Amino acid sequence: MGEAVTVGRPSGALRKILVPLALAQFICSFAGSNMNVMITDISTDLHTTVQGVQIAITLFLLVMAALMIPGGKLTDRWGRKRCFIIGLLIYAVGALMSAVSPGLGVLILGNSIFEGVGTALLIPPVYILTTVLFSDVTSRARAFGIITGMGGVGAAAGPLIGGLITTAISWRAAFVFQALVIGVILWLSRGIVDPIEPDPSRPFDTLGAILSGAGLILVVMGVSAADNNLALMAILVAVGALVLTMFFVHIRARERRQEEPLLSTVLFRNGTSNLGLVTQNVQWLMLMGTAFVVSAYLQVVRGYNAIQTGVIFTAATGGILLSSLAAERLAKKYAQRTLIMAGFITTIAGVVLLLALVNGSPSAWAFAPGLLLIGLGVGVMLTPSVNVVQSAFPEKQQGEISGLSRCISNLGSSLGTAVAGTILVSSLTNRSYAASMIVLAIMGVVGLGAAVFLPRRAQPALEVQP
């Protein structure tokens, strides 16, 4: 095994390892939100609808979530760096395909499928490599803080950067930008050494991967169908829930036969981790749901262009940057539970402010205070939520919990776009906008409730046997 990174290792070596990993998280989060400001341009250019663009965005986030756990498992067979590189290459192909897409179908294939699959392969290695390379608790927490912070910045800055590129050149150029960033990451990744040898003989639970992916896709697509057909929504959600139940029965049966499942059921027996996963899901649901709803409302209802919409989102970007920069100092002063609770309270206040100040206001700047609070709130709780989950398990289970953690976070992103976006596009009026924001606020209360039950102090990681 390669040498672990410790606090005493030179800062240059730390930066060399962290830069490509953090940049990879940034571009994947950026891809999930930058299309929000291109809704009008894409729908006009490709002769589609706002709902068509919403489907493409939701599918991208959903493919990431559905394949994140299988992607994490493949790192054991193929190696972490190899999966990282393969994921980057697939992502780049998808970005270039999206840039030249003649219609919605090719855009979905390139953006939703190729970029989604690429992300599912490259993101698990980011967190697994960080876990195994940064063995010291302090250095690992700092590394997770940088990576999750870059993820939050990517999601918040996506509308601004996407709006600038779309207005100055074209929405297609935004996908070329993504491909160029991937090229930079590939160049910077040359020096990363996988500290663990891959095991090609390690079994892979193919049926488990199919069941988990199909179940998640059915549930989220069912939610997305709510605005057109409630009966179809109910059927898809019910079938999805049944498939997910079959998945859990399947992995439990494999464990009883002493066979390695896609996901160990022991991961769901840790109460602290389960609560932390809920907070992760809800915070990304609120961030991405707000990004889509506000972007679509500004463009379709208010008539703002891509750059005007993107500029408004600098408030959220600034909020995440400020709270991310203060994350290390806050972590030393306050408990993780306190930070997560404070983050939810601030984020909920931002959603309420968006609802209260924007109603009847002719100025787009009325959105800025609410978006700033949302950015501050999400930025405060991103890193503590990850630390709560990761720290609940010992070293040997870090790979699995990393994959589950990323899956739950991305599922929250896709649900945010699906749930809030579906309510909005049902009529695209002030009333539907208000209904979307109310739903996001309610979800924030759910996340706050989960945070309240987190332990007041960090508990030592305990290995749970099957």
Q: Which of 2-6, 223-227, 236-240, 353-357 has the lowest mean pLDDT?
A: 2-6
Q: Which of 16-25, 49-58, 348-357 has the lowest mean pLDDT?
A: 49-58
Better-scored residue on pLDDT, 40 or 430 = 40
Better-scored residue on pLDDT, 245 or 154 = 245
* Residue appearing with tokens 């290390």: 328
Rounded-to-integer distance, Cα 39 and Cα 54, Å: 8
pLDDT for 463 equals 52
pLDDT for 307 equals 80
Is there a contact between 436 and 299 (Cβ–Cβ < 8 Å)?
A: no
- State percent of the chain over pLDDT 70: 89
Tokens describing residue 243: 């498939």
pLDDT for 322 equals 84
Q: CA distances (Å), 118 to each of 17, 93, 431, in order?
A: 20, 9, 38
Round the average pLDDT of the chain to a whole number and report it. Answer: 83
Q: CA distances (Å), 406 to each of 62, 125, 383, in order?
A: 12, 11, 13
**pLDDT band for position 174 (50/70/90)?**
very high
Which 3 state secondary structure label does DSSP give 103? coil
Q: Give me the mean pLDDT over the 10-26 stretch.
A: 77
Rounded-to-integer distance, Cα 447 and Cα 289, Å: 14
- State percent of the chain over pLDDT 90: 30
Tokens describing residue 444: 């924030």
Rounded-to-integer distance, Cα 50 and Cα 53, Å: 5
* pTM of the model as a whole: 0.80
Residue 229 predicted with pLDDT over 90:
no
**pLDDT band for position 137 (50/70/90)?**
low
